[in-house]
């Protein structure tokens, strides 16, 4: 299993279950969309997707939150670039990409518990990211199983 997460050679030879490879395409695309919304939308997705009440903040505070959302979107865009590289050229990285996605989600939730943000109403952003997390966990498990598992042990 460790050989799949950290292969000796990062090449285009994918060793996991094919479904994990195919799941990474929509996960990567949806993460790209989320990152682009964070960077380019007027509210950075903070109010529309995450329910942060920007309209109750001062103008400077609202701009700061939107700016931070854009910075976070840019930071997450780096993971999308590595996901695309894994899908196109370095498929041996697919299990590691899944692991990083899962760890990033759990760390995000952990920080949210330590430093909660006041939100208003029901938001759809949490449901989307929860769905992406579930698919990523499934993808991680599938990428660690499949062909050549017995030979790698």
Tens-digit pLDDT profile for residues 37-79: 999 999 988 888 888 889 899 999 999 999 999 999 999 999 9
CA distance 74 to 136: 20
User: Does the pTM of the predicted model rise above 0.85?
Assistant: yes
pLDDT of residue 147: 67
128 vs 74, higher pLDDT? 74
Residues ≥6 apart with Cβ < 8 Å to 134:
none
What's the token pair of residue 108?
A: 């995000």
pLDDT of residue 150: 45
């Amino acid at each position: 299993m460790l050989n799949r997460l950290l292969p000796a050679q990062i090449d285009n030879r994918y060793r996991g279950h094919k479904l994990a490879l195919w799941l990474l395409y929509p996960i990567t695309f949806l993460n790209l969309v989320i990152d682009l919304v964070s960077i380019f939308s007027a509210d950075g997705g903070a109010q529309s997707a995450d329910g942060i009440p920007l309209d109750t903040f001062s103008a400077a505070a609202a701009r700061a939150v939107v700016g931070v959302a854009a910075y976070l979107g840019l930071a997450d865009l780096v993971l999308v670039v590595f996901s695309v590289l894994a899908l196109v050229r370095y498929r041996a990285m697919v299990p590691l990409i899944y692991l990083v996605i899962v760890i990033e989600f759990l760390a995000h939730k952990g920080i949210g518990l330590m430093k909660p943000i006041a939100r208003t109403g029901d938001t759809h952003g949490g449901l989307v990211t929860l769905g992406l997390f579930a698919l990523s966990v499934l993808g991680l498990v599938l990428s660690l199983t499949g062909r050549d598992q017995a030979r790698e042990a």
